Chains A and B, each alone.
Chain A
Amino acid sequence: MAGLGSYRRPLPGTQPDYLFAPYASTLKRAPTRPLVMLPQTLTELTGPVFGRDEVKPGDADLTRQHKGEPIGERIIVSGRVLDENARPVPHTLVEIWQANSAGRYPHRTDQHDAPADPNFTGCGRVLTDNNGGYRFVSIKPGAYPWRNHPNAWRPAHIHFSLFGPAFVTRLVTQMYFPGDPLLPYDPMFNCVPDEGARQRLISAFDLDTTIPEIALGYRFNIILRGPGETPMERKS
């Protein structure tokens, strides 16, 4: 598209392929035919905007959605959403979901024999601020077993869903916790060969955002695709 520029291609090794045999569910769901290269047209360069009327301030605190407090280690998860040129992505929707502290989801298909927590749904959302910043209050999710391979366990993680300014900036990812011994065994965490890319999925413990006697702070910055060398036509 003349004048509109386009978003960068991923650095090789930093984004997963669809077919990844160690993650068994990809086998019957990954495309088997070649993808068709799609030029980024106005359709791909635009995207939906979400407003303050859809996201309430309380939606970012997962510990205050029920009568009582959830069981578990209280955490503050905060960070910034930036593009690949390190520009903040303001006012974009961030959705998260996670297991409770015992590794159980309140979902009809979760059969894990671990206690449910009536005070924890594990769902939150927020709009980033002017500087691309976001902040959630939650509890640390537990690890849980899955049936991908014998004795398979997912490391503790929080699902993140982000929109950014365009159809092509849409990203769903997972945030992990530092020092988790399950990470080397997890096919999802290890779905890309680039070691740096994997490490960037791990949040950092952060004393600055830790609230004394209340909650541990973890920092997790998220990078969305950014405009390439051709400058984007910017609308004021």
Chain B
Amino acid sequence: MSLHATTSQTVGPYLHIGMTWLIIDKLAPRKVAGERISIAGRVIDGDGKPVTDALLEIWQADARGNYGKPGFRGFGRVATDAKGAFKFTTIKPGRVAGPGGQLQAPHIAVNIFMRGLLKQLVTRIYFADDPANAEDKVLELVPAQRRATLIARQVGKRGALQWDVILQGRDETVFFDC
């Protein structure tokens, strides 16, 4: 028997009612091993205005490159505030298997939900200055001049990273179809 996936619909403007009971902005309790990082940014629409009603979900491996091991679920969920800003703290993920069995560069998968999106946007966060980026098979699929939109950069002290989501325009974030 073959069925077809239910049609996606927008979360709408009142997503907070159903989804913010589970805000997880600190993904890694103190005992979890790994390099501590924080990722902060803003979501900006096609008019350059902050998106104040977005929700981002994070999915990542632990520092050794394993998904869903006991002690570190690797799932986060944050909403944007009145300035379109979001922030979460976690550990830098390790490398996981990728296309052709080659290891991928460390990355975080992100699903983005908001009013005006009939289905979620899919993107990834990579890390500036990670030498593995140069051989990452997914980054290779992205036009070179757009790769920077996927890369979190250090701002201020060590481990404090910035990564913005630009929905439209010249600096539009790369979104994936998977």
- Give A residues with C-beta under 8 Å from B: 1-2, 8, 10-11, 14-18, 20, 23, 25-33, 35-44, 46-49, 54, 82-86, 95-97, 99, 105-107, 109-110, 121-125, 159, 161, 167-168, 170-174, 188, 191-192, 194, 196-198, 200-201, 222-226
Contact = CB atoms under 8 A, between A and B. Distances in A.
Interface string B1-32: 11111111111111111110110000000000
Contacts of B151: none
Given A30-B116, A35-B175, A43-B104, A171 B46 contact: no
Contact of B9 (A26, A44, A201): A201
Contacts of B49: 28
B153 interface: no
B interface SS class: loop
Contacts of B175: 31, 33, 35-36
Interface string B117-147: 1111110000000000000011001100010
B96 A41 contact: yes
Main secondary structure of the interface of A (DSSP, over half): loop
B83 to A, nearest CB: 16
A138 to B, nearest CB: 12
Interface in B84-131: 96-101, 104, 107, 109, 111, 113-122
A46 B109 CA distance: 11
Contacts of A194: 7
A224 B174 CA distance: 25
Contact of A15 (B47, B75, B119): B119
Task: Identify the 10 closest CB pairs spanning chains A and B, nearest first.
Answer: A97-B18, A25-B116, A48-B75, A29-B116, A16-B118, A28-B46, A38-B176, A38-B178, A35-B177, A174-B9
Interface string B36-54: 0000000001110101010
Given A38-B141, A172-B119, 13 more contacts: A1-B99, A14-B4, A15-B8, A31-B121, A36-B176, A37-B177, A41-B99, A122-B18, A159-B15, A167-B109, A171-B8, A201-B7, A224-B5
Contacts of A95: 18-19, 22
B78 to A, nearest CB: 14
Interface of B: 1-19, 21-22, 45-47, 49, 51, 53, 57, 59, 61, 67-68, 73-75, 96-101, 104, 107, 109, 111, 113-122, 137-138, 141-142, 146, 167-169, 172, 174-178
A191 B9 contact: yes
Contact of B68 (A44, A49, A161, A198): A49
> Which of A25, A32, A43, A95 has the most C-beta atoms of chain B within 10 angstroms of its own C-beta?
A43
Contacts of A106: 17
A161 to B, nearest CB: 6
Contacts of A201: 6-7, 9
B13 A97 contact: no
A107 B167 contact: no
6 contacts: A36-B176, A39-B138, A48-B74, A95-B22, A109-B13, A197-B7
A172 B151 CA distance: 27
Contact of B6 (A32, A110, A171): A171
